[in-house]
Homo-oligomer: A and B are copies of this chain.
Amino acid sequence: MERISITSTRRVDLIDITDQIQDALSRQKTQDGICCLFCPHTTAGLTINENADPAVRKDITTSLSKLIPPDAGYTHSEGNSDSHIKASLFGPSLSVILEGGKLMLGTWQGIYFCENDGPRSRQVWITIIGK
């Protein structure tokens, strides 16, 4: 598998990793199939959403932080239960169709690393399964 590295700079952020993933794919022989993305962290996740107006990302993180506030009488002693809960809501894995070596995304779609407990050094793991 390939690994890409991400350095988050805020506690909560959606970081565009589309180009990093496409770069990693260009080092692979397989051109057609699916690209499986996996987040190996328990306080982060992966999502796909709009890559045009950054306000969309802000609305997503703000809205989720209202639903899952940082302090809500959680029992986990590390004080980051909100980050774990958000990780499960976004989910750890995504599959994107690959054709001719290119990620098949909709016009307005970008792939985002969902940082819920930064700033931290993070990874996303990538594997391609040929058709």
Contacts and interface: CB of A to CB of B under 8 A. Distances in A.
B34 A106 contact: no
Interface residues of A, number: 56
Contacts of A87: 49
A106 B41 contact: yes
B78 A53 contact: yes
Copies of chain A in the complex:
3
Given A93-B95, A94-B93, A104 B38 contact: yes
Nearest to A91: B91
B94 A81 contact: no
Contacts of A105: 40
B49 A97 contact: no
A33 interface: yes
Q: Which 7 A-B pairs have the closest CB atoms?
A: A40-B106, A59-B81, A55-B76, A55-B75, A42-B50, A47-B88, A59-B74
A119 interface: no
16 contacts: A1-B104, A41-B108, A42-B49, A42-B109, A47-B88, A48-B92, A53-B77, A55-B74, A58-B76, A59-B84, A63-B81, A89-B89, A92-B94, A93-B94, A95-B95, A129-B131
